[in-house]
């Protein structure tokens, strides 16, 4: 797969170079466009989307640098950098004319490109939101509808069912919305009904986690698993009495202990269900575990919690603080940011907090950072 992507991208660069030398209608240009299109089409027959990422002066596919990067650095890589493009995604249904359109766009003024793209070619910056019109092309993420869908799925899990195709569709809609540049903070629904809190909060955490996973540099399949795990991180609250979940005052020691059991309960529920990724029960267990070894459940751990658990922990705390709860009003953004920064190095990994605040809460056009699980 790497070799074929390398072949396609090299052909695309050759077409771009030949256009400048010979003109857009020259036979060499057409031949190279044909080669790029045929190669990408064959690859898209095996998967629905193909994403290449520009990391400074290298182009990466499936976390591996393309073999021809030394040649791509002469033309295509700097041209993508000029336009501020950090990823290119080719999707199933790609037409040859769309490659020609992309070549045209790459020759225009840089400000124009990120507001264009085509139906089956998307461009953007990792962890960054640019244009609402791209969301309209790719499908708007309606949080209210998503919450309703998840409530139905939650009921099925409570009855002993396994996650079905609806859950996969829901996760994919979140992942794709974030991938094409959803402004996640504007997408989050306001919590006005405390009975709805668990569902709305869970969907919010999934959206935020997907955005942070994208910013960290996870592959699409990793972001998919992370998003699903985030949607299911609080599934153990099915076994927590509503009187405790919605108590308007501080929990006593017994109630707090019962509340904390939702982590182990959630892990147990997910371990008993087929069809969930291996990381889901880990996140359910660890999403209240701190990087300094504190938090709950109080288990002996070697090293830090799983990266997915750390991501969901940051997203979980952020959304919990910024929404109304029975025992307190929502905090303003400055206070929430302050609490996250105070927890850096204790509850949260410092690099993750920085990345979350810089690229998810306040997206900017910075280069991606890489972290290991």
pLDDT band at residue 148, thresholds of 50, 70 and 90? low
CB 90 within 8 A of CB 49: yes
* pLDDT per residue as tens digits for the range 270-301: 888 777 889 999 999 999 999 999 999 987 76
Q: pLDDT tens digits for 75-95? A: 999 989 888 888 889 999 999
pLDDT digits (tens, 9 = 90+) for 349-358: 999 999 999 8
pLDDT (0 to 100) of residue 197 = 67
Give the gyration radius of the chain's Cα atoms. 22
Distances (CA, A) of 84 to 112, 117, 306, 311, 344: 11, 13, 32, 26, 30
The answer, yes or no, to whether residue 333 has pLDDT greater than 60, is: yes
The whole model's pTM is what? 0.58
Phi, psi of 188 (to 5 degrees): -70, 140
- Per-residue pLDDT reduced to its tens digit, 233-271: 988 888 888 888 878 888 999 999 999 999 999 999 888
Longest dimension (CA), the chain: 78
Q: What is the pLDDT of residue 368?
A: 35
Q: Where are the domains positioned within the chain?
A: 2-124, 143-361
pLDDT at 131: 33
Between strands 87-91 and 121-124, the pairing is antiparallel
What does the pLDDT look like over 125-136, one tens digit per residue?
A: 754 433 333 333
Domain 143-361 has CATH 1.10.3210.10: yes
Q: Label residue 127 exposed, middle or buried (CB < 10 Å: 0-12, 13-18, 19+).
A: buried
């Amino acid at each position: 797969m790497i070799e074929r992507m390398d072949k396609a991208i090299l052909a695309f660069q050759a077409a771009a170079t030949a256009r400048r030398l010979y003109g857009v209608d020259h036979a060499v240009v057409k031949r190279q466009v044909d080669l790029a299109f045929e190669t990408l089409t064959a690859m898209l027959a095996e998967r629905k989307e193909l994403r290449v990422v520009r990391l400074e002066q290298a182009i990466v596919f499936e976390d591996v640098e393309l073999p021809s990067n030394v040649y791509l650095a002469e033309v295509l890589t700097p041209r993508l950098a000029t336009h501020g493009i950090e990823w290119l995604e080719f999707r199933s249904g790609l037409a040859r004319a769309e490659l020609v359109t992309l070549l045209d766009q790459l020759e225009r003024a840089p400000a124009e490109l990120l507001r264009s793209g085509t139906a089956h070619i998307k461009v953007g910056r990792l962890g960054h939101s640019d244009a609402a019109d791209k969301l309209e092309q790719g499908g708007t993420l309606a949080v209210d509808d998503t919450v309703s869908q998840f409530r139905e799925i939650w009921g099925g899990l409570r009855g002993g069912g396994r996650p079905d195709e609806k859950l996969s569709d829901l996760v994919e809609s979140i992942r794709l919305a974030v991938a094409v540049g959803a402004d996640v903070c504007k997408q989050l629904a306001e919590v006005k009904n405390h009975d709805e809190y668990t569902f709305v909060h869970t969907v919010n955490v999934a959206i935020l986690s997907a955005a942070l996973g994208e910013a960290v540099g996870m592959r699409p399949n990793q972001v998919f698993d992370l998003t699903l795990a985030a949607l299911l991180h609080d599934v153990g609250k099915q076994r927590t009495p509503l009187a405790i979940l919605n108590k308007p005052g501080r929990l006593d020691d017994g109630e707090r202990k019962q509340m904390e059991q939702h982590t182990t309960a959630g892990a147990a529920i997910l371990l008993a269900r087929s069809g969930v990724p291996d990381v889901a029960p880990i996140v359910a267990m660890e999403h209240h575990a701190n990087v300094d070894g504190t938090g709950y459940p109080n288990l002996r751990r070697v090293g830090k919690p799983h990266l997915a658990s750390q991501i969901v922990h940051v997203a979980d705390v952020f959304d919990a603080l910024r929404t109304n709860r029975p025992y307190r009003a929502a905090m303003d953004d400055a206070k929430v940011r302050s609490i996250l920064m105070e927890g850096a190095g204790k509850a949260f990994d410092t690099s993750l907090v920085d990345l979350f605040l810089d690229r998810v809460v306040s997206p900017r056009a910075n280069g991606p950072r890489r972290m290991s699980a």
